[in-house]
């Protein structure tokens, strides 16, 4: 897929966007791009990022069209309150960017022991999964609820419709080079992308995911110098933000997973289906197609009751 073609005259006036993890890094670049196009932007991030959020807001072209609402996305009650407050204050939500994420601080599968010499519970891994997967699920569920009940988009720009954009990673499609919790959680985000399509389509809401490779943020600071010295492709937060906003605002983009690795921008979900037969075999592809048609006919998987 060629690099995303953006509408240089993008007009998001009167639209409202919510960006999680919006105080720094890729999220801050997304906030800036949306605000520059005229959108009102709600920055959702931890209370500890309030100073960064205020600095960001003061630097925006339209600082009066941005607000910081603190929340931990892994906390359902906190995030639900923020979504409700956003709807109450602005009357609508049009775009939700589930950007917030984190990475483990130590190798998850290496043995570490407590003071009694017992193998330690991988609590740092739980934290990563809580933020990256549980937090993304919370954001997705709340976004679907609020977007489907919002009034039609007020913008006059063509090719714009409401959407949810999940931040996956190339680690959601490939090996994560030893980042076990991060890689597992980002594979889960890709699962959210795929499993949400049917429900979102009922309400004409588009759900896409962006899968950035190495991007110059806090998460990559430990290897940035060596990576650049090796001559490998590097993303800037602004470059990733451009793709995010292009995909989020283009009514033709739905169900996509877009890899962003410097000059390489590729759509992965449609191309995955195109090579499925070569991967699992044409016979298995045909069987899986029939199985999918079966579930569609009966209205989806019949969920088991509690035990």
Task: Kindly state the DSSP code that residue 235 receives in the 8-state scheme.
Answer: B
Catalytic residue among 54, 126, 134, 182: 182
Check if 242 is active-site. Answer: no
Which residues contact residue 155 at a Cβ distance below 8 angstroms, ignoring those fewer than 6 apart? 11, 12, 13, 14, 15
Report phi then psi at 176, rounded to 5. Answer: -95, 20
CB 242 within 8 A of CB 4: yes
Is 182 annotated in the active site?
yes
Taking the C-alpha atoms of residue 259 and residue 269, their distance in angstroms, rounded to an integer, is 10
Active-site pick, 54, 134, 186, 301: 186
DSSP class of 203: T
CA distance 146 to 87: 8
| Edge-to-edge strands, sheet with 257-261 | 66-70, 40-45, 16-20, 95-98, 163-167, 206-212, 257-261, 264-267
As annotated, the active-site residues are 182, 186
């Amino acid at each position: 897929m060629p690099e995303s073609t953006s509408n240089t005259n993008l007009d998001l006036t009167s639209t409202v966007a919510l960006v999680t993890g919006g105080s720094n890094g890729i999220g801050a670049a997304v906030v800036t791009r949306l605000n520059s196009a005229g959108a009102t932007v709600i920055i959702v991030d931890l209370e500890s990022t309030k100073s960064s959020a205020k600095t960001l807001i003061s630097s925006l072209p339209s600082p009066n069209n941005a607000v910081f609402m603190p929340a931990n996305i892994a906390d359902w009650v906190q995030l639900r309150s923020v979504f409700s407050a956003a709807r109450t204050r602005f009357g609508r939500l049009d775009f939700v960017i589930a950007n917030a994420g984190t990475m483990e601080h130590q190798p998850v599968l290496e043995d570490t022991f407590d003071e009694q010499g017992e193998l330690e519970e991988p609590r740092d891994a739980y934290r990563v999964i809580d933020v990256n997967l549980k937090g993304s699920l919370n954001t997705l569920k709340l976004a679907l609820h609020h977007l489907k009940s919002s009034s039609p988009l007020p913008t006059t720009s063509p090719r714009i419709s409401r959407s949810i954009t999940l931040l996956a990673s190339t680690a959601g499609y490939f090996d994560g080079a030893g980042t076990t919790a991060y890689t597992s959680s980002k594979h889960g985000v890709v699962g959210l992308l795929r499993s949400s399509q049917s429900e979102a389509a009922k309400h004409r809401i588009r759900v896409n995911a962006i899968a950035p490779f190495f991007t110059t943020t806090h998460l990559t600071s430990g290897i940035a110098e060596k990576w650049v010295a090796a001559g490998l492709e590097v993303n800037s937060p602004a470059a990733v933000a451009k793709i995010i906003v292009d995909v989020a605002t283009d009514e033709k983009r739905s169900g996509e997973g877009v890899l962003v690795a410097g000059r390489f921008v590729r759509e992965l979900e449609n191309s995955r289906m195109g090579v499925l037969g070569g991967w699992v075999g044409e016979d298995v592809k045909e069987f899986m197609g029939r199985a999918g048609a079966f579930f569609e006919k009966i209205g989806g998987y019949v969920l088991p009751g509690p035990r």
